[in-house]
A and B are shown apart, each in its own frame.
Chain A
Amino acid sequence: MKATILTAIRALLVLTCVTGLLYPLLVTGLAQAVFPVQANGSLLRDGNTPVGSSLVGQAFSAERYLWSRPSATAPFAYNAAASTGSNLGPSNPALAAAVKQRIETLRHADPGNRQVVPTDLVTASGSGLDPDISVAAAAFQVPRIARARGVAVGEVETAVRQCTHSPLLGMIGPAHVNVLCVNLALDHVSVRP
């Protein structure tokens, strides 16, 4: 028994060094050397100022911007230091109430819009940081953005198209639009990694 205890302690210490220390250090070293941009958060820079990550969404509420999906993070939407989903069940009245409120906000910002409301635009993502919206959710907002900016619909559509990712292998995941990418393009901000 005593021998077993001793071996257990020593094995744990040694394996902690190998798997808890050497392994993450090795991966960090290789990652920083080979993929420095990705390993550090895929940041987008305007000059020297980081203005976001191409992977993490931001909240938008001005009519001239493409809006992201609702976010359940606290104390403000798209808090990238405390990711979370809403965890509201499908039958929870709080979900229905939240969605109703979001539909009203969308309709209020664009009263003439007769398109059906895309589901992703009124439901919160799992992480609260979803950078993307569906193609339908982008199309829903294009007329509003064009009007708010006083530009042609085609100009907004071009920005959306440039930021649209097609499904992996043509089948995995729907086509989706990176919201921050569109808004940076609309503001004519050129970013580099």
Chain B
Amino acid sequence: MNPVAVLECALYLVLLVALAWPLGAYMARVYTGESTWADRVLGPLERVVYRLSGVKSAVQMNWRQYAGAVLVFHVFGFLAVYGLQRFQAVLPLNPAGLPGVPPEVAWNTAVSFATNTNWQAYGGETTMSHLTQMLALTTQNFVSAAAGMAVLVALIRGLTGRQVTDVGNFWVDMTRSTLHILLPLSVVLALLLVSHGVVQTFTGSVSVHLLEPTTSADGKTVADQVLALGPAASQVAIKQLGTNGGGFFNANSAHPFENPDGFSNLLQMLSILLIPVALCFTFGRMVGQPKQGLALLMAMFVIFVPLLALTVASEHQANPVLTALGVDPAMGNWEGKELRFGITSSAIWATATTAASNGSVNAMHDSFMPLGGLGPMWLMQLGEIVFGGVGSGLYGMLVYAFIAVFVAGLMVGRTPEYLGKKVEAFEMKMASLVILLPSASVLIGTAVACSIPAGTQPLGNPGAHGFSEILYAFSSGSNNNGSAFGGLTVNGLFYSTAIGIVMLIGRFWVIVPVLALAGSLAKKKIVPPGAGTLPTHTPLFVALLAGTILLVGALTFIPSLALGPIVEHLALR
């Protein structure tokens, strides 16, 4: 790798941690109900929200009630997004006069946004009215992210509670996540983005007179360029902060009006990982041992940094096919990338957006070099726990921590414990569910798609790369990422339905076991650490944890990765 690329990666990681640390402390105060500097403005708003929604904020829930509230809330979230899309033609704020969204795409999008995946089976500017973008998509960007954070907080309460049944109040956790964390950050980020050129208007489009007329595919002369506009900045801000990723425009953050320059790009890249990293600090504070959060963060970095290096180095390689045609061999792989970001920023983004379950893109992953695409794909397949989604990443990581202490316990023949809580058969069953179900849906979904015409006809690329498109799609859906190898046409009946189903599995068949874990852990007493306790804040544990994740991820996915990116890489050489 060239030194400038290394320097940029280092700058990114340093800025990220520097911003996340204070935010982590602030979020711990929000979740423990301590007063914060923002209470003056947000406190009254919070009380109004409780009054209007009939929430009794003092009521505590056990894990079953908590899970029930999460599920019911998402059902209505789904219905709202589905309905708004279907009826957008007759609703206001539709300046482009777009028709209602077809049922299969509306179903897919509704699942996608309710599960915090934000997989896009549609082209933003050509499918969704401004009303749909705002009321349906922007709202879900907030509340689905907030729900993930709430579930994490419930699990942390399970770890810190002493022989209790309650894990918190979902409505309070979700509302506080939205109002005290996501909303203020989004307003600030949105305005910073606008200052650099991200559009924010209710005008549908503006027409400009081209300097040189161009010719359309049907031979007509085109003298004007129609620039699609809209309230993009407000949606872009929360799409990054809430690890959502659904773009306002089809090209997502590669579009100049979503991401106009190097600075807006840096801001958005930082926002992608900001809250997931900060939550590690929040966790440390909430369990009263900052080192525990730091150890989880270190395990994430141990996996992230090598895959970042792989992706950046791969994209700085020239495509040998193009070099053979006489193209500059020193410039790297520019297909699908934007000049104003450059190759390093595009590769950092791809790694960050797939490490987090964000899924927004500033370059087309489908056109990455084979190994440049492998890094992002594997990061998703690891279960979106290396940073991961807001909340969902860390609760997934904690599940792996239980497995790591369990494996260590097996080696020495002791009952494993984590933070003084004994990890027993029930916890391991739930942890297995969390890991097995999304992995199974990636592999089974890919296998089904490969064997039927409806799965292979929509491919945008032939050969091994076509297989990669399918594998990427199911990895992204099952792990609630939302990015895509965009050459695959996914608005047909098969992919809309299948990806919709795996998104549901990846979200709720994880959330429910995690809440069951929270409930089971809350009931246990906290055992003081003894001589045989494995400390979980040491480099040894970091290595054990990262090793467990990589081993499970490698055993599950290397065979399928070998059929896609690895074959393509070898064939290109």
Contacts from A to B (Cβ < 8 Å): 1, 4-16, 18-21, 23-24, 26-28, 30-32, 34-35, 38-43, 49-62, 65, 69, 74-93, 95-96, 99-100, 103, 116-120, 122-134, 136, 165, 167-169, 171-174, 176, 180, 183-184, 187, 189
Chain A hits for B319, CB < 8 A:
90, 95
- B44-86 interface with A by 8 A CB criterion: 45, 49, 52-55, 65, 68-69, 72-73, 75-77, 80
Residue of B171, B187, B325 contacting most chain A CB atoms (<10 Å): B325
In the complex with contacts A28-B202, A50-B209, A56-B123 CB distance below 8 A: no
**Cross-chain contact B366 with A38 (CB below 8 angstroms):** no
**Cross-chain contact B231 with A91 (CB below 8 angstroms):** no
**Cross-chain contact A21 with B206 (CB below 8 angstroms):** no
Chain B hits for A122, CB < 8 A:
322, 327
**Cross-chain contact A90 with B369 (CB below 8 angstroms):** yes
Number of interface residues, chain B, beta carbon within 8 A: 134
Chain A hits for B94, CB < 8 A:
none
Number of A-B residue pairs with CB-CB distance less than 8 Å in the complex they form: 399
Stretch touching chain A among B30-38, B134-142, B270-278? B134-142
How far apart are the CA atoms of A131 and B336 in the complex, in Å?
Answer: 14
**Cross-chain contact B325 with A90 (CB below 8 angstroms):** no
Is B399 part of the binding interface, using a Cβ–Cβ cutoff of 8 Å?
Answer: no
Min CB distance B360 to A, Å, is 12
Is B506 part of the binding interface, using a Cβ–Cβ cutoff of 8 Å?
Answer: no
Is B250 part of the binding interface, using a Cβ–Cβ cutoff of 8 Å?
Answer: yes
**Cross-chain contact A165 with B178 (CB below 8 angstroms):** no
- B241-273 interface with A by 8 A CB criterion: 249-251, 254-257, 260-263, 265-266
**Cross-chain contact A120 with B217 (CB below 8 angstroms):** no
Is B190 part of the binding interface, using a Cβ–Cβ cutoff of 8 Å?
Answer: yes
**Cross-chain contact A7 with B54 (CB below 8 angstroms):** yes
Is B332 part of the binding interface, using a Cβ–Cβ cutoff of 8 Å?
Answer: yes
**Cross-chain contact A41 with B200 (CB below 8 angstroms):** no
Residue of A nearest to B484 (CB): A87
Chain A hits for B215, CB < 8 A:
76
How far apart are the CA atoms of A53 and B226 in the complex, in Å?
Answer: 11
Subset of 30 A-B contacts with CB under 8 Å: A15-B175, A16-B135, A20-B134, A32-B201, A39-B201, A43-B208, A53-B208, A62-B212, A76-B215, A76-B216, A77-B214, A78-B214, A83-B254, A84-B250, A85-B254, A88-B335, A88-B366, A90-B369, A95-B319, A95-B367, A117-B328, A118-B328, A125-B337, A126-B254, A129-B255, A165-B340, A173-B339, A173-B345, A174-B342, A183-B212
In the complex with contacts A23-B234, A34-B191, A125-B336, A1-B256 CB distance below 8 A: no
**Cross-chain contact A91 with B325 (CB below 8 angstroms):** no
**Sample of 20 more A-B contacts, CB < 8 Å, known A76-B222, A100-B325, A172-B8:** A4-B65, A11-B49, A14-B53, A15-B53, A18-B178, A23-B142, A26-B187, A27-B231, A55-B260, A83-B228, A88-B366, A88-B367, A88-B487, A90-B319, A90-B368, A91-B568, A96-B325, A127-B338, A165-B340, A172-B262
Residue of A nearest to B49 (CB): A14
- CB-based closest 6 A-B pairs: A126-B254, A87-B487, A168-B262, A89-B465, A173-B342, A83-B251
**Cross-chain contact B143 with A12 (CB below 8 angstroms):** yes
How far apart are the CA atoms of A61 and B391 in the complex, in Å?
Answer: 50
In the complex with contacts A56-B257, A120-B334, A14-B211 CB distance below 8 A: no
Min CB distance B332 to A, Å, is 7
Is B196 part of the binding interface, using a Cβ–Cβ cutoff of 8 Å?
Answer: yes
Select B251's contact among A34, A84, A133, A173, beta carbons within 8 Å. Answer: A84
Chain A hits for B367, CB < 8 A:
85-90, 95
Chain A hits for B68, CB < 8 A:
1, 4
